[in-house]
């Protein structure tokens, strides 16, 4: 993991070297790298041949008959603004890992290793360590090695206090076990597992609706996030910062029997379900089959948003949807206790690939 970090503002120390006075303190990197090494060591695997520090991470691929590597990269989006305002930096690290793990799970892959990128202007070493600690915690829980990454200080690129967080994941699946949706058939049952909230999508719209982190007084933003809102069991900020749920442990026992898996992220059901459907098929959802969480109802009411836009923007309480043979549905439900039938695959009769009634 390469780290270049600044612990002081540009020009704050007249005795610092020229680069430090410009906003990048190279002398601070050693201590932070050592601390990151300790945190990242919790999230390792026997196949890791090099720890945090070298220019490149080394990972020995295990014994597979015909291994296929699965990879994905993503960020946390403007959920980061909520984290900044609430001064909570560990949860978004977990969000990042869990999101990426879910993405490659849709191919049937198990995660092998993860890398991160933190870009910032002046984020302190403690805050950076909190971000890495969250990622390490999630990687450890998912059996994934945190093998490296990059922390870059870039004054004049990021505004003071701002940062970005990006993750990169690599997993593996036997070629014979790749899930690509090609096995989905008319009549397949659609099962789903619940989300834990917005996960990592729709935050720009939500912040606009509630007027949070859009250029107003940060004190007013924090007050809005700390407020108790009727219908929610926690503060608005706590509900918005709920960690993106990982689904690997839930689905691992039944993955070989799944015909297709869709991670419901940006684009909601409307855009993500068609990504796994073969031509000529559509997904028919029964809205009465699951309870839409109160947070989504609150957002819809406050923003006067149509049902169509809600299902096109948010997960609406369904974090992951998977298609199974009708004959397997009951036994899979028994193995995955929270799984619930939410619809069926049907022959496409018009332009719609997703029908929600």
pLDDT digits (tens, 9 = 90+) for 14-67: 556 665 655 556 555 566 666 777 777 777 888 887 766 667 878 888 888 999
SS3 helix, strand, coil % of the chain, rounded to 5?
35, 25, 40
- The reply to whether the predicted model has a pTM over 0.95 is no
How many C-beta atoms surround the C-beta of residue 155 within 10 A?
16
pLDDT band at 156 (very low <50, low <70, confident <90, very high): confident
Same fold, 2-177 and 189-356: no
Domain ranges for the chain, please list them: 2-177, 189-356
Contacts of 302 (CB under 8 A, 6+ apart): 209, 210
Higher pLDDT, 91 or 161: 91
Interval 178-225: pLDDT, tens: 999 999 999 999 999 999 999 999 999 999 999 998 888 989 999 999
Where b means 16+ CB within 10 Å and e means fewer, 211-222 reads ebbeeeeeeebb
The pLDDT assigned to 29 comes to 57
The pLDDT assigned to 16 comes to 60
The pLDDT assigned to 19 comes to 57
Interval 223-240: pLDDT, tens: 999 999 888 999 999 999
Contact predicate 292/310, CB 8 Å:
no
How many C-beta atoms surround the C-beta of residue 62 within 10 A?
11
Which backbone phi and psi does 29 adopt, to 5 degrees?
-65, -35
| Topology given in CATH for the domain delimited by 189-356 | Phosphoribosyl-aminoimidazole Synthetase; Chain A, domain 2 (3.90.650)
Would you say residue 125 has pLDDT above 50?
A: yes
The pLDDT assigned to 5 comes to 40
User: Which CATH architecture is the domain 2-177 placed in?
Assistant: 2-Layer Sandwich (3.30)
Would you say residue 168 has pLDDT above 80?
A: yes
Would you say residue 158 has pLDDT above 50?
A: yes
pLDDT band at 11 (very low <50, low <70, confident <90, very high): very low
pLDDT band at 7 (very low <50, low <70, confident <90, very high): very low
Helix H, strand E, coil C: the string for 258-310 is CCEEEECCCCHHHHHHHHCCCCCEEEEECHHHCCCCHHHHHHHHHHCCCHHHH
Would you say residue 274 has pLDDT above 50?
A: yes
Which two three-digit tokens encode residue 137? 């915690």
pLDDT band at 86 (very low <50, low <70, confident <90, very high): very high
The pLDDT assigned to 189 comes to 98
């Amino acid at each position: 993991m390469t780290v270049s970090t600044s612990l002081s503002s540009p020009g704050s120390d007249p005795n610092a070297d020229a680069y430090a006075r410009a906003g990048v303190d190279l002398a601070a990197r050693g201590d932070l790298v050592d601390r990151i090494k300790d945190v990242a060591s919790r999230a390792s695997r026997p196949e890791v041949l090099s720890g945090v520090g070298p220019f490149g991470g080394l990972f020995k691929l295990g014994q597979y008959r015909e291994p296929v590597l699965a990879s994905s990269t993503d960020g946390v989006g403007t959920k980061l603004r909520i984290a900044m305002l609430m001064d909570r930096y560990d949860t978004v690290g977990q969000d990042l890992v869990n999101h990426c793990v879910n993405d490659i799970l849709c191919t049937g892959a198990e995660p092998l290793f993860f890398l991160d990128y933190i870009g910032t202007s002046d984020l302190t070493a403690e805050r950076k360590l909190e971000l890495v600690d969250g990622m390490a915690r999630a990687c450890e829980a998912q059996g994934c090695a945190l093998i490296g990454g990059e922390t870059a200080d870039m004054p004049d690129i990021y505004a003071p206090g701002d940062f970005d967080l990006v993750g990169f994941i690599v997993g593996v699946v036997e070629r014979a076990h790749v899930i690509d949706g090609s096995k989905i058939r008319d009549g397949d049952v659609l099962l789903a597992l619940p989300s834990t909230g917005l996960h990592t999508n729709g935050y720009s719209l939500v912040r606009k609706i509630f007027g949070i982190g859009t250029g107003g007084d940060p004190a007013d933003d924090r007050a809005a996030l700390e407020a108790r809102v009727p219908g929610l069991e926690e503060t608005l900020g706590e509900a918005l910062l709920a960690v993106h749920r990982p689904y690997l442990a839930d689905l691992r026992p039944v993955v070989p029997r799944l015909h297709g898996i869709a991670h419901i992220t940006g684009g909601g059901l409307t855009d993500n379900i068609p990504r796994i459907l073969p031509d000529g098929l559509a997904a028919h959802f029964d809205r009465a089959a699951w309870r839409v969480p109160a947070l989504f109802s609150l957002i819809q009411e406050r923003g006067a948003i149509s049902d169509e836009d809600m299902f096109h923007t948010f997960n609406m309480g369904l974090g992951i949807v998977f298609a199974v043979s009708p004959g397997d549905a009951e036994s899979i439900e028994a193995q995955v206790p929270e799984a619930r039938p939410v619809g069926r695959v049907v022959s496409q009769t018009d332009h719609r690939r997703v029908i929600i009634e």
